[in-house]
Structure 1
Amino acid sequence: MKIDVPYGKDGSMSAVIGDDVKVSFLEANDVQIGDEDENINAAINNPINSKNFKEFLSDAKNVLVIVNDATRPTPTKKILEFIFDDLKQTHFNFIIATGAHRGPSQEEYLQIFGSYYEQIKDKIIVHDARVEEDMVFLGQSTNGTQMYVNKAGVKADKIIIISSVEPHYFAGYTGGRKSFLPGIAGYTTIEQNHKLALVPEARALALDGNPVHEDMIDAIKTVKQDIFSIMTVLDKHHNVYATCCGHINDSFHAAIDHANEVFAAPLKEKADIVVSVVKFPQDIDLYQAQKGIDNAKLALKKKGIMILVAKCRCGIGGKAFADLLGSSDTPEAALETIEKGYVLGYHKAAKMAEIGLWAQMWGVTDVKPDVISKLFIKPFSHLQTAIDLALKEKGRNASVLFLMDGGLTVPLIK
């Protein structure tokens, strides 16, 4: 059997596996895609617990549009086709909700905004969480997080959020409140919030009792301006499956139902070897591709082998998590360091180290072998080599599962 998997934006990798090996595939569920334009237009004109879009903008003086960075598959440029004519009648700015990520490259600006970039490039603010003078203090959350957000969000009298909702490995789901925290929050705020990811309740598909989510909701409560939320849910091919607009929390929760229909994938039993394929754009670096590791653990047997397939176009990504893992001799040592004091990025290291306690992590990436091997990930250049060695180690009777969109698909044992 020859198996092809995506690698990078337009590339692929393949491996041949003998017919005697038990191989299965798990990917996001197939859903019926209707007319995407009608889907988006109807949601914008019939929002949930909100004025429609034109009415929302009718008395606007200073509009801020919050959009995701290039690590998300959010169809921002597609949404602009439906709102830009009304938006350009107002005084507006865009802010890229980078959280603690870097700002976009020229190519990534075009990925986000498409042909609209030339018209709006002078109206784009790139959030930088580390610039303290750009932050405004809005209060303290129930969990004690100090709420600092970009002052651009305070100066605006109307806020539009364009985002997408899919599972997130410690916030439960992306979208909605995440545009503020971590999207346009200060570094200290993000660090305090992400420390809450260390508890078991912070996991994919979980909102009730999830302190990370609760913190984000508290952040939204500090925002006094009118918000018009545009939440999309994409299918496994990045087509628009559903759009939910209007009230920020109500549209978010409505989108969750659709996100579960796509990304919560039922699985009968765990496998000895799980190949987790992280697609573009989440394959930007290991920091983002780690989501494919965390989702894949849900489908992996104890003492199993997980093979991450992600190009990691920009290398490792977050420095803190890589430095921590790289300076630890064992996963246990990394977890002990985290217990002594939290630094932003350590939540990522903790999730990886916890898996390292009971399973092997291998990686087919473009990251240099001497770099990734320090992070408890055994490096490979080719999928075929990794598969062959995994089967040699686990035996020909081992089961192999390909998680075909590991960054977004959440396996659920039934």
Structure 2
Amino acid sequence: MKVNVPYGKNDSFEIDVPGKQLLGVFDPNDVKKVDSDDAIDQALANPFDSESFNSFIDTSDRIVFIVNDGTRPTPTAKVLKHIYPKIKDKNIFFIVATGVHRAPTEEEYEMIFGKDIYEDLNNRNLIHSHDSKNDEMEYLGKSSNGTEMYINKIVADAKKVVPISSIEPHYFAGFTGGRKSFLPGVASYDTISQNHYLALQDSSRAMKLDGNPVHEDMMDAMKVLKNINIFAIEMVLDSDHDIYAVTTGDLAKSFYAGIDKAKEVFAVQIPKKADIVISTAPYPMDVDLYQSQKALDNGKLALAKNGIEILVAKCRTGIGPKPFYNLLSSEKDPKDVLDKIHHEWKLGYHKAAKMAQIGTWASTWAVTDLTDEEMRNVHFKPYHDLKKAFKDALDEKGDNASVIVLPAGSMTVPEVKDH
């Protein structure tokens, strides 16, 4: 059976998988299409535990909008088409919630905002990209866990804030969306580091919220925002990146209302774990290896012990944060990487830990634009052609090896069907 595997924005690989070996090609689930314009309008008019959006923006106070950066598939531009005519002449400002990511490129800014709206906002100097290390921060208090909430002064000083985000599985926070617009979105580097240290615990994993220490710490930290009036706009996307559901209003209630919808899309049932798993980080989540790691982490849920996982990710801008790369490349064995993490902690180590953990029980290969040396240094067998990687995997695992393909691995969370 011929299987098409996306690569980057416009390219793809086609591989031929023997039918008897293919357990399935698993994308996010097909769900009923909705009218996205109607979904947005209805959600804005009928928020959870809040006045309508039109009432919310009926003010002379500054309204700060928090938007996701270019590593997320959030269709911010679609929402802005609906609300921009209503807000453009008001006292508004936009901040890009980069967390610890780099600032967007010009191409990414246009993708986030839509070209016309971006040009208008940019010409009026109404956009700022959050810098977790250098921006002025304001201390708002501590979570029960002790995470010190320093957030960008632009947000901290606002009376009204509108976070625009999307809800999809996240490999250690359970799900994106909601609270993540603030932490890590516009928080200080140290604040993010304190929260993300909790990601080293096994209970920090995709689609898990109850008992997930990262999520619970984030939610508890949100209480420091009590003096800010928040109107959240959350979206759930389907497998085509079209809007499936929109929830708005109270930060927590709009987030939890989207979770069930997100599970309908992203939680996929597989018959059993496979000997070979191909997991892709689709554009724009293939920006670098640091972001593409999510596809690797989801793919491991479909992988049998001693199997081979092949990550397919263009890694358009390279590896990502240096601490992440430096840790992984500092040791030749993944077990030694994990030992080092137990003795010291730096932000970026959480992703390195998750990657290294897979290497202790399976083989990790990768098809990327990175150099062979870079891939080997971070414990991947390097490839640039999926056809070649897949052929070698079949040669190694044998003619009866089972295969699972996840073309949107960053957003697809496999679960073995109950017997």
TM-score interval, normalised by the smaller of the two chains: over 0.9
Does the 8 Å contact 1:129/1:184 carry over to 2? yes
2:129 pairs with 1:126: yes
Matched, 1:137 2:139: yes
Q: Which moved more, 1:196-205 or 1:54-63?
A: 54-63
**4+ residue segments displaced more than 4 Å:** none
Over residues 292-336 of structure 1, what are the superposed CA-to-partner deviations in whole Å (9 max), with x where a residue is unaligned?
Answer: 010011000000000011111111112111101101121111011
* Deviation at residue 18 of structure 1 after TM alignment: 3.8
Deviation at 1:23, TM superposition (A): 4.6
CA deviations on 1:163-203 (whole Å, 9 max, x unpaired) are 00000000000000000000000000011111000001110
Kept in 1, the 8 Å contact 2:332–2:379? The answer is no
CA distance in 1, matches of 2:17, 2:34: 37
Q: 2:244 is matched by which residue type in structure 1? A: Y
Measure the CA separation in 2 of the matches of 1:346 and 1:108. Answer: 26
Give the conservation status (yes or no) of the 8 Å contact 1:143–1:211: no
Identity of aligned residues (%): 51
Equivalent residue for 1:304?
307
Where do residues 309-328 of structure 1 align in structure 2 (5 Å cutoff)? 309-328=312-331
Deviation for aligned residue 1:21: 3.5
CA contact (8 A) 2:147 2:221 kept: no
Give the Cα separation in 2 of the matches to 1:218 and 1:69: 24
CA distance in 2, matches of 1:97, 1:79: 16
**Could you tell me how far 1:6 is from its partner in structure 2?**
0.9
| CA distance in 1: counterparts of 2:106 and 2:258, whole angstroms | 31
Aligned match for 2:363, one of 356, 360, 364: 360
The answer to whether 1:236 aligns with 2:239 is yes
Corresponding residue of 2:177: 175
Question: Do structure 1's residue 59 and structure 2's residue 59 form an aligned pair?
Answer: yes
SS of the residue corresponding to residue 255 of structure 1 reads helix
Q: Please say if residues 22 and 397 of structure 1, whose CA atoms lie closer than 8 Å, have aligned partners that are also in contact.
A: no
Match of 1:274 among 261, 273, 277: 277
1:279, distance to aligned residue in structure 2 (A) = 0.6
Question: 2: CA distance between counterparts of 1:169 and 1:60?
Answer: 40
Q: Please show how residues 54-93 of structure 1 align to structure 2 within 5 Å.
A: 54-93=54-93
> Separation in 1 of the partners of 2:325 and 2:21?
35
Q: Distance in 2 between matches of 1:6 and 1:407?
A: 12
- Deviation of 1:145 after TM superposition, in Å, equals 1.1
- TM-score, normalised with respect to structure 1: 0.98
List per-residue Cα deviations over 1:111-138 (Å, max 9, x = no partner): 1011210111110011000016x11111
Instruction: Give the whole-Å Cα distance in 1 for the aligned partners of 2:358 and 2:17.
Output: 26
Q: Given the alignment of the two structures, is residue 146 of structure 1 paired with residue 148 of structure 2, yes or no?
A: yes
Distance 1:354 1:8 in 2: 26
Paired with 1:228 and 1:174, the residues of 2 have a C-alpha distance of 17
3-state DSSP of counterpart to 1:303: strand
Could you tell me how far 1:42 is from its partner in structure 2? 0.6
| Matched position secondary structure for 1:222 | helix
Q: Given residue 156 of structure 1, which amino acid in structure 2 is its aligned partner?
A: A
Q: What is the identity, as a one-letter code, of the residue corresponding to 2:246?
A: T
Are the equivalent residues in 2 in contact too, given 1:60–1:158 (CA < 8 A)? no
Q: SS of the residue aligned with 1:282? A: coil
Matched-pair contact (CA < 8 Å) for 2:142–2:224 = no
**Map of 1:188-203 to 2, 5 A cutoff?**
188-203=190-205
Amino acid at match of 2:217: D
Partners of 2:2 and 2:219 lie apart in 1 by 46
Question: Could you say which residue in structure 1 is the equivalent of 2:219?
Answer: 217
After superposing the two structures, state which structure 1 stretch, 108-117 or 85-94, moved more: 85-94
RMSD: 1.0
- Structure 2 unmatched ranges of 5 or more: none
Higher deviation after alignment, 135-144 or 226-235: 135-144
Q: Say whether the 8 Å CA contact 2:95–2:129 is kept in structure 1.
A: yes
Secondary structure, aligned partner of 2:239: coil
1:401 match = 404
> Quick one: which of 331, 336, 341 aligns to 2:344?
341
What residue number does 2:249 align with?
Answer: 246
* TM-score, L = length of structure 2: 0.97
Alignment of 1:17-28 (within 5 A): 17-19=17-19, 21-28=21-28
**SS of residue in 2 equivalent to 1:283:** coil
Q: C-alpha displacement at 1:60, in angstroms?
A: 4.3
Residue number in structure 2 paired with 1:157? 159
Residue 34 (structure 1) aligns with: 34
- Paired AA for residue 161 in structure 2: I
Q: Aligned letter for 2:398?
A: G
Task: Give me the whole-angstrom Cα distance separating, in 2, the residues matched to 1:179 and 1:212.
Answer: 14
Contact residue 338 and residue 346 of structure 1 kept, 8 A: yes
CA distance in 1, matches of 2:280, 2:189: 30
User: Aligned partners of 1:234, 1:148: CA distance in 2, in Å?
Assistant: 31
What is the distance in 2 between the residues matched to 1:140 and 1:53?
30
- 2:139, 2:336 → 1: CA distance? 36
Which amino acid in structure 1 is aligned with residue 288 of structure 2? D
Q: Deviations over 1:58-98 (max 9, x none)?
A: 13411100000000000011000111122123201000000
Deviation of 1:220 after TM superposition, in Å, equals 1.4
With over 3 angstroms needed to count, the CA separation of the structure-2 counterparts of 1:212 and 1:384, relative to structure 1, is same
What is aligned with 1:109? 109
The 3-state SS of whatever aligns with 1:149 is strand
SS at match of 2:309: strand
- 1:291 and 1:407 in contact (8 A); partners too: yes
Aligned length: 413
Deviations for 1:262-299, whole angstroms, at most 9, x for unmatched residues?
00111120000000011111011110000001001100
User: For residues 277 and 264 of structure 1, what CA distance do their matches in structure 2 show?
Assistant: 16
Q: Structure 1 unaligned runs (5+)?
A: none
